[in-house]
Amino acid sequence: MKLDELKNKTILLFGKSRAFSSEEFDSQLKYHDIGVVKEYNDDVKLVIDGKMMTPYEQNASDELYESKKINSLSIDIFEKELAKEIDEDTLLMSLKLSHDKDRLKSFLQNTTISDKLFFRLIKLYSWNGEDFFENDDNRDVSAAFISRFYENIERNHNVQYATTGFIHLVAQTKNGELLKEIFALKPIEFHPKLKSAIAMSVYTDEAMQKKLFKSGDEKLLEALSFNKNLTNSLVMEFLDDKMLRGNMAKSIELDDELFDLLKIHSISLALNETLTLEMQEKLFSLKDYDTNFALAQNNKLNIKIIKLLIELDDEKIKYSIYENNSTPVEILNEAYKEPKNHIYLSRNENTPIEILYQLQLDSRFERDVKTNAAFGRHIQSENIGWEI
């Protein structure tokens, strides 16, 4: 169905509109020269089943459907078609000139409009120098923003009413445009933790990184130093600071040049999960205990290095290897022969399910097994439950 097919025609609306306010719905129909009635007559060309239909309306709709006299459509589908036909430039100009905050808020809460239009509209909203949830209007707009972009919002409804919802959005998203829009929201100034989350996101672009850097805020600089995709110009800036340089060594996406620049921080480098085998070999060749211990905790460790670390025959390093999720099954099976290793195997996601079943029978390891993500996934896939 296309809206132009309904031009100068009449629709029958049972119930109410959903995404559009009643006033906006009527305004949109008027713009498209579509008439609307509440009772059926011979002029009606389409029936729309809206929300909050009365029993009478539901019966009338069912009768019309069964009679096959006329096509019907859900309000959700119809409103999506209305949203597609919105002239964005005209709407924005109208809102700018009218300063109609209620109408703007109504559109921001409208789930049928595109993200592109939503981003254009949010720039028009005035937060009045207050926080995300400091007044009713800000609360409604913030909740609309979070619920629009939050993954699986149906599993966590309350998150849309808390600033942590924005922090979760930053952690979830791979959308650089969404990060820019969150970064541009005025109330972000009240929330340094939200700024830090953006600074650490690998999807924060160079322009945002530089703006965060120019703030000179120590917490933001620290957060930036953990950004895996830190821009080269900032890498050079951070090399002069021992703490920031060490943070980069743990986190940044490494190439040979960066590895050489940061090798003074061998322990931090050893924890970096982007190390190539050659880089791991170079670190192991240093024969430094703390560096090797850090390597043993790296979850992207090459099997060759794992075996070399085990051959060092150091208990502390071996235990780290047995907890390491990159350790292959054959090594874990061998480690299981020694009871002293069981506590570490209970925490490793690579530990064979058969071993985890055995370990959960021991009260000493039961809790660790039950909180082991791999065991939890297995239990769910087998539809098995347990009491904690």
Dihedrals φ, ψ of 330, to 5°? -60, -35
Taking only the tens place, the pLDDT of each residue in 81-122 is 999 999 999 999 999 999 999 999 999 999 999 999 999 999
| Among the listed residues 189, 155, 187, the one whose alpha carbon sits nearest the alpha carbon of residue 172 | 155
Can you tell me the distance from the alpha carbon of 208 to that of 227, in angstroms, rounded to the nearest whole number? 12
Q: How far apart are CA 179 and CA 173, in angstroms?
A: 8
CA distances to 14, 193, 196, 345 from 36, rounded to whole Å, are 10, 49, 51, 68
What are phi and psi for residue 225, nearest 5 degrees? -70, -15
Average pLDDT value for the chain: 93
The phi-psi region of residue 296 (left if phi > 0; otherwise alpha if psi is between -120 and 50; otherwise beta) is alpha
User: Mean per-residue pLDDT for 212-218?
Assistant: 95
Q: What is the DSSP letter of 230?
A: -
Q: All domains of the chain, ordered by start, with CATH?
A: 3-84 (3.40.50.10190), 88-204 (no CATH), 254-327 (no CATH), 329-388 (no CATH)
pTM score: 0.80
How confident is residue 383, by pLDDT bands cut at 50, 70 and 90? low
Q: Are 258 and 268 in contact (CB under 8 A)?
A: no
Q: Tokens 């009772």 identify what position?
A: 39
